[in-house]
């Protein structure tokens, strides 16, 4: 791109005053043999503004679930809350019909790692821990986050895995820095999980997000510090480690082809945030 032309990102600034510096820096890292992001996953100021609106709706949907979720409720009722709130506010639940997924939200209980399908026959019981994973499309822009909910009095085992999962995510966020690497986040998460006797699921990870539900890069939470893609301002992705009590191994439900269970029936917990890399740090876009 010519130095004095208007930058491709639509900022209205000349290229030399905008993305030229970032892209020259990317080229230096690339020459060093590092994995660098393609331009198409660096969000423009307009895209960031629109994706933030989607993320705000996603947070409001999770708040609506948090207000109503209780013992005795079916996971199908959670699905209805998500569908109704999202569509009433002009959004579309991203999971609905995504690669054949039949519902608007994923609800994963206890030994379910992820991708649980809401069902009239799954009733929340005292002692359950449940991950509710909400993803929203608003005006064509995507957002994604999940929270853990606890039903009544839960076991110490369950309390501990949720607490450590929260700590893992916080450590991951603290390790995320512009011009660092995705592996820095993974290492912070994995080492804290291991120090607590837990494991991190390896074959399912996070993803880029914003213009599509799942974009580049795949985000692993087990790779070493300094490895994987360079973190460049404008990148957006999820931090969503799945922490297992025992083995990191899992199996997928043969009947519905979606729900992922721990192989040893141990508990699994997950918390997901969506983040934006900025020149001066990381911004968390969802709650
Ligand atoms: Zn620019």
**What Å distances lie between residue 180 and 38, 107, 141, 175, CA to CA?**
16, 33, 26, 8
Q: How far is the CA of 22 from the centre of ligand 1 (A)?
A: 9
pLDDT tens figures, 169-190: 999 999 999 999 999 999 999 9
Per-residue pLDDT for 268 more than 90? yes
Q: How far is the CA of 13 from the centre of ligand 1 (A)?
A: 7
Q: Which two tokens stand for residue 176?
A: 């995320």
pLDDT at 255: 87
Neighbours of ion ligand 1 (CB under 5 A): 7, 9, 11, 18-19
Cβ(180)–Cβ(282) below 8 Å = no
Per-residue pLDDT for 212 more than 90? yes
When pLDDT is cut at 50, 70 and 90, the band that residue 2 belongs to is: very high
73 closest CA partner among 31, 109, 112, 125 = 125
pLDDT at 282: 97
pLDDT at 125: 98
pLDDT tens figures, 156-166: 999 999 999 99
Q: How far is the CA of 233 from the centre of ligand 1 (A)?
A: 11
Per-residue pLDDT for 109 more than 90? yes
Per-residue pLDDT for 1 more than 90? no
**Mean local confidence (pLDDT), 85-101:** 97
Distance of CA 199 to the CA centre of its chain: 18
Q: How far is the CA of 285 from the centre of ligand 1 (A)?
A: 21
Could you give the percent of the chain with pLDDT greater than 70? Answer: 100
For residue 261, the cross-strand partners are 112, 251
Phi/psi at 214 (5° precision): -130, 110
> What's the mean pLDDT when you consider all of the chain?
97
Tokens 């592996």 correspond to 183
When pLDDT is cut at 50, 70 and 90, the band that residue 269 belongs to is: very high
Out of 55-59, 64-68, 101-105, 250-254, pick the least confident. Answer: 250-254
Could you give the percent of the chain with pLDDT greater than 90? Answer: 98
Per-residue pLDDT for 56 more than 90? yes
pLDDT at 136: 98
Q: How far is the CA of 212 from the centre of ligand 1 (A)?
A: 21
**Mean local confidence (pLDDT), 206-213:** 97
**What Å distances lie between residue 194 and 16, 164, 191, CA to CA?**
45, 10, 5
Q: How far is the CA of 180 from the centre of ligand 1 (A)?
A: 20
Q: Which two tokens stand for residue 136?
A: 């929203």
Q: How far is the CA of 229 from the centre of ligand 1 (A)?
A: 20
pLDDT tens figures, 226-242: 999 999 999 999 999 99
Q: How far is the CA of 139 from the centre of ligand 1 (A)?
A: 23
Q: How far is the CA of 91 from the centre of ligand 1 (A)?
A: 29
Per-residue pLDDT for 59 more than 90? yes
Per-residue pLDDT for 15 more than 90? yes
pLDDT at 242: 97
């Amino acid at each position: 791109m010519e130095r004095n032309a208007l930058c491709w990102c639509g900022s209205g600034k000349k290229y030399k005053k905008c993305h030229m510096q970032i892209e020259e820096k990317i080229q230096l890292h690339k020459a060093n043999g590092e994995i660098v992001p393609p331009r198409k996953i660096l969000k423009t100021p307009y895209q960031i503004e629109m994706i933030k609106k989607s993320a705000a709706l996603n947070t409001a949907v999770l708040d609506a679930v948090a207000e109503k979720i209780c013992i005795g409720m079916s996971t199908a009722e959670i699905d209805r809350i998500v569908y109704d709130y999202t569509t009433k506010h002009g959004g579309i639940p991203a999971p609905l019909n995504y690669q054949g997924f039949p519902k608007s939200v994923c609800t994963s209980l206890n030994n379910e790692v992820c991708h649980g399908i809401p069902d009239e026959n799954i009733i929340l019981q005292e002692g359950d821990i449940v991950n509710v994973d909400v993803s929203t499309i608003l005006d064509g822009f995507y957002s994604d986050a999940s929270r853990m909910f606890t039903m009544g009095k839960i076991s110490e085992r369950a309390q501990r895995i949720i607490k450590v999962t929260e700590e893992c995510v916080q450590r991951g966020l603290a390790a995320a820095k512009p011009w660092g690497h995705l592996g820095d986040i993974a290492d912070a998460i994995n080492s804290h999980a291991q120090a607590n006797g837990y494991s991190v699921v390896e074959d399912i990870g996070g993803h880029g997000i914003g213009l599509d539900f799942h974009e580049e890069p795949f985000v692993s939470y087990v790779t070493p510090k300094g490895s994987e893609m360079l973190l460049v301002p404008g990148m957006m992705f999820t931090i969503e480690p799945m922490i297992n009590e025992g083995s990191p191994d899992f199996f997928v439900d043969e009947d519905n082809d979606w729900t992922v269970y721990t192989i040893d029936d141990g508990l699994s917990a997950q918390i997901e945030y969506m983040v934006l890399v900025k020149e001066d740090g990381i911004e968390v876009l969802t709650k």
